[in-house]
Amino acid sequence: MSQETATAEETEEDTSVLELWRTWYDTVGLAGVMLFMLWVRLQSRDNFIRGDEVLFSGNDAFYHFREISYTVNNWPWTMPFDPWTRYPTGTSVGQFGTLFDQLIATAALIVGLGDPSSRQVALVTLVAPAVFGALVALPVYYIVRRFHGRGTGLFAAALLALMPGTFFRRSTVGFADHHVAETLFMAIAVLATMAALGVAERELPVYEQLLDRDWDGLWRPVGHSALAGLATFLYLWVWPPGVVLVGILGVFYTVALSTDVLTGRSPEHVAQVGIVSMTVTALLSLLRIADFSFSATDPSLLQPVLALAVAGWCTSLAAAARLWDGEDLSERAYPAAVAGTIVVALGLIAVVLPSLYNTIVSQSLRAFGFGQSDTVLTIAEAQAAPGIADGFDVGTLNSFLYSQYGLAYVVALVGLVWMTFRTAYTEYRAEYVLLVVLSVFLWLMALTQTRFNYYLVLSVVVMTAWVFGHVARAMDFQDLTGRIGDIKPYQVITVVAVFMLAFAPLLPPLAATGGAAGGQPAFVVDAGDGFGPGAVAGWTGTGDWMSENTPEVGNYGDATNADEVPYYGTFGRTDDYDYPDGAYGVLSWWDYGHWITALGERPPHANPFQQNARSSSSYLQASSEERADAVLDALPAVDGGGGQLDEMTTEELRAMADGAPDDGEGVQYVVIDDQTAGEKFAAVTQWSVPPDNRARLAEQNRNPTGDNNQRLYFDRQRYQLRGQNETLPVVSDRYRETMLAKLYLRDANGLEHYRLVHESSRYSIVGGAVQPNGRVAPRTSTRLPGEGWSQDRANLSRQLDFARRQGVAVPTPRGGAFYDASLEAAVKTYERVDGATITGQVDGDAANLSVVAYVELETATGRQFAYQQGVEPDDDGSFEVTVPYATDDTVGPDDGGTNTSVTTVTDYQIKLVNSQIRGLLPTAQFPTAAETAVPETAVYDGETVSVGAVSPPDPGGNENEGNENGGDENGDNESEGSVRGWNGVTPTVDAGHAETAGTGTGPEANTGGEYAPTPVIAEPAD
């Protein structure tokens, strides 16, 4: 073989390799990017699997899992109505049971070969967000590729893969909410619309082709437009409130068609895209209508009506343009006429369809007009971006955006301005107009509600890539397959500079590694390994206990109707579900409703749809047991289960309750956690203002707003902090008199109809906290590591109680401190019962005597506490004391009762206490006049237990007889001494996800802190 032949073969081989590279480099690169995105997002998978249990992050994910499980059993249908939440009415929520759930259910059926187990469904749901997140790279790549080719498209996909902000978090394993699917399907809808616009601008379809039946000339532009309409419909199917995209497209078509007229182009080409695509969207949306109103949150008339309105608007604009051209009117007058028509049309809608007008205005303000209410602002993800919420602060906003996007957001803003001017003056493309209009609205949405940054990432990545592509084109550096020798140094320097500006802040060493760093973007490889289920891990024990130790829904009391309310049953849509006898609900703060449904398999009253948040707030703030009971009893008589209960007097509530339908058993359980009593209490006060608080605010000439209501629960008090006297914010007596505090902080001590039946094995410090940086939170919660009650826990509890009474803050080694705090179980569950009535007769002079029923109890974790209830005897010496705790546990779930995990250590002790000295000594130290057992049947049925005649104590007797470890109603039975600090305990933040906004420091939520080492608490000094 000659040298020339060998050289020719080598050249041919090199050419074939180069051609192969030219053909496939972007495909290989895109596949690599997507695999990287998937791997990064799946790193934390094992953190969500706890033995046989699969957990998710946040709370909405648990309800999606319920919807997905239903669809697996009823494929392809989704749940039309659910009585297992929003008790006592049930609910139907259009944002759940959507295409998102159907796609995951389909995947689970494939994985499970048609019959997946519940665990298989949970595992598929667990990883689904990561799959959706990786898929977003596809439409992003193709959007950018339309402008600058494959290399720049690959640049955009790679940039998306490194974005560390909201989009990244909401597309990681476990975050099984619909947010990442929204991003994916919006990107697909935008890509499809851009493709349709591109075809229209090439094919130039006009009205005459339709008249001439030129189907060959119309099929491509009409077909692409129909696909754009289908893609938009799929987005609405994923998230019905995404109808905002239809409105954005309406603005785009208005701008684009007006611009066409101004610049002398025919607007019919672009109008055809709007007419066809929006008509298709409207027709398909008609198939999914579930609510014949103009609701933005459900598949309703709003979606098809608005889409048809946009299609009709495009038709009108195109027809008006023909009129303008035929009458030879000035093009400059066209936009003015369009603006005037819009004003008139909105006025007509306001008059003819006021509900539609109000929906459009309210949803527009909520989406991109900074128009959230005080109650919406208690939702963490609905808060405005930092630097926007409390007045415009450029530095704070810049830090937030930098942590979300690095410097790419700066490049993207430059690109937005550049594209706007380029479109206006040098290179007009309808696709550019679409991107500009969409980007403006996405910026407004992301600044209005911080969660919408999972949309803004699309604009940031696309605009940054667009800038990079133009720089590369200007430097003649576009062809990544060209010869290296042809590239000049200045070209390399310029392009690399833009590349580094976009990528360097997202990579080490500039990106934060090994944990969060204030203001820095996180490196996704490190960040992806640190996610977990968060706060829900502290609720799993409560959910498991509830599902196993409370009656099935429909079987409470003497009823046997559980078969009428199957957990995955199919129920017809209704405004007020008719629950059978024996059905009951569970009251908690709205954050936890889905956990109660999914983990406890019981229907909550309030849920994370914010349904019944107001009535739950009314109950938790009730200043007496009588009012709290009246709120619960009135719920079946109120539309929607919430109503205006907070504005009614107790007597009005009682009157309403008397007329309430006999529907189920009412709310029988109340669950309160450390965060509700701590940092989330501020949110509780925003939803309702009790009558006594309204009266107090009226006396102060202040409006009954949530903020003013909240202030009534806080005061200031002098505390000794590291040797200095400081005035610190504390909760007021008004807080301590709320039903929330009486239950959670006092274990229902002194209440007649509520008993603690379970507490979690985790414990928390609940109270005020001074952080090392000096920030003070008057109400927060900090969960301790480990489980169970121990001597260390008991010592800590005594130390905190003593410090609270002495006005001393308990320091931590790193400069922080706790004050006005107590140690409580992280989650406590209470049962509402009739209560047994202990009766008797004081034998002798009953003047100045109080009759106290006292019993000592112990939780399953080993924590001991006391319950007591005191009354003044009648003039004849007779007395009645209603108590909620039983001294036996004979009524279990099979009998319609609760298998309580709280047991009595003693029988009830009846103590006759001198009223003048009661409270000066622990109740346990007073002598016992009688003892009695209280059977559980008496507690459930409201029966009477008689102790007969009891005699007052002998004045000369031993007043210190009894168990000195018992507590009194004030909890003031501890030894005196000095307060010592912590031994080697350093607080760190738990990054769990929660929904209510408040004073917590975790990302996107206010969660309590976590302690890494087990604390060794010093005993109070002698």
Q: Cβ distance 764 to 854 under 8 Å?
A: no
Angle between helices 243-262 and 268-286 (to 10 degrees): 160
Cα distances (Å, whole numbers) of residue 337 to 265, 269, 334, 341, 430: 18, 21, 5, 6, 21
Q: Which two tokens stand for residue 218?
A: 């119309």
| Cα–Cα distance list, 935 to 67, 296, 308, 441, 836 (Å) | 42, 53, 67, 65, 8
Higher local confidence (pLDDT), 296 or 785 = 785
pLDDT at 802 over 70: yes
* pLDDT at position 993: 37
H helices then E strands: how many in the chain? 33, 24
Sign of the dihedral through C-alpha 346, 347, 348, 353? positive
The one-character DSSP state at 787 is -
Cβ partners under 8 Å of residue 871, min gap 6: 850, 851, 879, 880, 881
Tokens matching residue 757? 């039946």
Q: Is residue 177 pLDDT above 80, yes or no?
A: yes
The 3-state secondary structure of 636-674, one letter per residue:
HHCHHHCCCHHHCCHHHHHHHHHCCCCCCCCEEEEEEEH
CA distance 312 to 306: 10
pLDDT band at 19 (very low <50, low <70, confident <90, very high): confident
Pairing of strands 944-950, 836-842: parallel
Given a contact cutoff of 8 angstroms between Cβ atoms, the answer to whether 737 and 623 are in contact is yes
Q: Determine if the peptide bond prior to 76 is cis (ω within 30°).
A: yes
Provide Rg for the chain, Cα atoms.
Answer: 33
| pLDDT, position 583 | 96
Torsion from C-alpha of 35, 36, 37, 39, nearest 10 degrees: 80
Reported as a single tens digit per residue, the pLDDT across 122-153 is 999 999 999 999 999 999 999 999 998 899 99
- Best CA proximity match to 367, nearest among 203, 241, 461, 484: 241
Contact 886, 939 (CB under 8 A): yes
- Judged against a pLDDT cut of 80, whether residue 966 lies above it is answered with no
Crossing angle, helix 302-326 and helix 243-262, to 10 degrees? 0
DSSP symbols for 171-182:
TSTT--STHHHH
* Calpha distance 646→656 (Å, rounded): 13
**CB contact at 8 A, 240 and 303:** yes
| 980: pLDDT strictly greater than 50 | no
Q: Which of 513, 2, 380, 433 is nearest to 193 (CA)?
A: 433
691/711 Cα distance (integer angstroms) = 15
Contact 234, 224 (CB under 8 A): no
Contact assessment for residue 963 and residue 858, using Cβ atoms and an 8 Å cutoff: no
In this structure, of 14-28, 291-305, 624-638, 759-773, the range with the lowest mean pLDDT score is 14-28
DSSP string, 52-82: TEE--SSSHHHHHHHHHHHHHHSTT---S-B
Question: Residue holding tokens 């902090």?
Answer: 721
Q: What is the pLDDT of residue 636?
A: 87
List, for residues 884-911, the tens digit of each pLDDT value: 999 998 999 999 999 999 999 999 999 9
**Mean pLDDT to the nearest integer, 158-186:** 96
* Whether this model's pTM surpasses 0.85: yes
Q: At what angle do helices 215-238 and 243-262 cross, to 10 degrees?
A: 140
CA distance 193 to 219: 16
pLDDT at 1014: 30
Q: How far is it, in rounded angstroms, from Cα 841 to Cα 849?
A: 12
Q: How much of the chain, in percent, has pLDDT values that exceed 70?
A: 87
The residues pairing with 731 across neighbouring beta strands, listed in sequence order, are: 714
Looking at residue 923, what is its pLDDT?
85
| Average confidence (pLDDT) over 148-167 | 94
List, as one string, the DSSP characters of 710-746: HHTTEEEEEEEETTEEEEEEEE-HHHHTSHHHHHHTT
Strand partners, 586: 604, 669
How would residue 353 be classed by pLDDT, with cut points 50, 70 and 90? confident
Report the DSSP beta bridge partners of residue 724: 721
Averaged pLDDT score across all residues of the chain: 87
By C-alpha distance, which of 458, 470, 469, 461 is closest to 248?
458
Find the range with the poorest average confidence among 250-259, 728-737, 797-806, 844-853: 844-853
- Residues of the chain with pLDDT > 90: what percent? 65
* pLDDT given for residue 482 in this prediction: 52
Instruction: Give every CB contact of residue 348 below 8 A, 6+ residues apart in sequence.
Output: none
Distance CA 596, CA 582 (A): 18
| Residues whose CB is less than 8 angstroms from the CB of residue 214 and which lie 6 or more positions away in sequence, other chains included | none
Cβ atoms of 796 and 1017 within 8 Å: the answer is: yes
pLDDT tens by residue, 49-87: 988 899 999 999 999 999 999 999 999 999 999 999 999
Average pLDDT over residues 258-283: 94
Q: Write down the pLDDT at residue 981.
A: 38
**Once rounded to an integer, what is the mean pLDDT over residues 918-933?**
86
pLDDT (0 to 100) of residue 722: 83
Q: Does the pLDDT of residue 21 top 80, yes or no? A: no
At 778, which helix (H) or strand (E)?
Answer: strand 776-783
Q: Please calculate the CA angle 794-795-800 and round it to the nearest 5 degrees.
A: 100
User: What are 357-367's pLDDT values in tens digits?
Assistant: 887 787 777 77
Which of 25-29, 593-597, 768-772 has the largest mean confidence?
593-597
Average pLDDT over residues 945-952: 91
946 half-sphere exposure, CB direction, 13 A CA radius: 4
Q: Is the pLDDT of residue 487 over 70?
A: no
CA 231 – CA 191 distance, rounded (Å): 9
Rounded Cα distance, 204 and 272, in Å: 10
Task: Report phi then psi at 384, rounded to 5.
Answer: -65, 160
What average pLDDT does this structure show over 224-246? Answer: 96
Before 509, cis peptide (omega within 30)? Answer: yes
Secondary structure string (H, E, C) spanning 267-299:
CHHHHHHHHHHHHHHHHHHHCCCCECCCCCCCC
- Tell me the per-residue pLDDT of 569-586, one tens digit each, with 9 for 90 and over: 999 999 899 999 999 999
Q: What is the DSSP letter of 604?
A: B
Domains and CATH numbers, the chain: 178-362 (no CATH), 830-950 (2.60.40.3390)
| 404-452 pLDDT tens trace | 999 999 999 999 999 999 998 888 899 999 999 999 999 999 999 999 9
- Neighbouring-strand partners of residue 993: none
Q: Mark out the alpha helices in 239-353 (DSSP H runs).
A: 243-262, 268-286, 302-326, 333-352
Residue 399 has pLDDT above 70, yes or no: yes
Is the predicted pLDDT of residue 561 greater than 70, yes or no?
yes
Neighbours of 115 (CB within 10 A): 8
Which stretch of DSSP H or E encloses residue 151?
helix 137-162
For residue 910 the two structure tokens come to: 């009846």
